[in-house]
Amino acid sequence: MDSTAQNQEFKIILGSSSVARRKIMADMGFKFTTMSADIDEKSIRKEKTEDLVLALAEAKADAIIGKLENLGNEEKDAKPTIVISADTVENVQPKLHGKDEAEPTLLITCDQVVVYEGMIREKPSSKEEARQFIKGYSGGYAATVSSVLVTNLSNGSRKGGWDKVEIHFHDIPEEVIEKLIEEALVLNVAGGLIIEHPLVVPYVKEVVGGTDSVMGLPKNLTRRLMKEVL
């Protein structure tokens, strides 16, 4: 546990329904709740992968800020709040751009895409697309590009960044691919890629970078950005 988490004097809202991101935040030692970011991801397009994931993280942050402004500030909590974009809601009402807060309120949002043979892959639109995605990884490799954006809600400042990881695979048997498709969890993640899945782990040859980044929340980048805006 780093000093940021150990001396936590702020609340955290994790803005993701991802079980993996929740686990990473917990492993980092932070206490947090969750809140949704309902955006049309397909409507946001950028030529560069890095620009795309940052733009999506910004859109999620703006959506959550809008929800918080609508909720108002009925609760006068002296503690600041950190937010990380999400898909479920809990009752959190921080002050936005408050002048009288002793501590800042932070909002953290994230996004991820998979890049395969130069093409951006987001969540599979169907089981057949997920099947094609995973078959492509078999005996080959793909990369994940993950963004983290931290917004200081007390003064409006933002810091963002991205992290890229390469994953190399052994040949993945057809029966394993079919089990993954039948289970359907791969439909909910970028590129249909879940390297921590028990069925996938034996076929991961090498990960060049951090596994936490592949799972959707690079720890070191998240810590650094949080410290920069605190």
For the stretch 137-159, pLDDT in tens is 999 999 999 999 998 888 888 99
70 vs 28 pLDDT, higher one: 28
**The two three-digit tokens of residue 42, written as one number:** 């397909």
- Residues 70 and 81: their CA atoms lie apart, in Å, by 16
pLDDT at 148: 96
Which letter, b or e, does each residue of 149-178 get, where b requires 16 or more Cβ atoms within 10 Å of its Cβ? bbbbbbeeebbbbbbbbebebeebeeebbe
- Residue 73 pLDDT greater than 60, yes or no: no
Give the pLDDT band of residue 160 (cuts 50, 70, 90).
very high
- The structure's pTM equals 0.82
pLDDT at 91: 45
- Residue 99 pLDDT greater than 60, yes or no: no
Report percent pLDDT > 70 for the chain.
84
The pLDDT mean for the chain works out to 86
- Residue 36 pLDDT greater than 90, yes or no: no
Beta bridge partners of residue 69, listed in sequence order: none
Beta bridge partners of residue 151, listed in sequence order: 107, 158
Least confident residue range of 30-39, 43-52, 159-168, 212-221 = 30-39
Least confident residue range of 6-20, 91-105, 125-139 = 91-105
Least confident residue range of 6-10, 88-92, 218-222 = 88-92
Q: Are 142 and 114 in contact (CB under 8 A)?
A: yes
pLDDT at 3: 61
pLDDT at 114: 96
> Is residue 230 exposed (0-12), middle (13-18) or buried (19+ Cβ within 10 Å)?
middle
Q: Give the mean pLDDT of 191-209.
A: 96
- Residue 111 pLDDT greater than 90, yes or no: yes
pLDDT at 1: 61
Q: Which amino acid is at 183?
A: E
82 vs 202 pLDDT, higher one: 202
Q: Which residues, other chains included, contact 89 with Cβ-Cβ below 8 Å and sequence gap of 6+?
A: 34, 35, 36
Give the pLDDT band of residue 33 (cuts 50, 70, 90).
confident
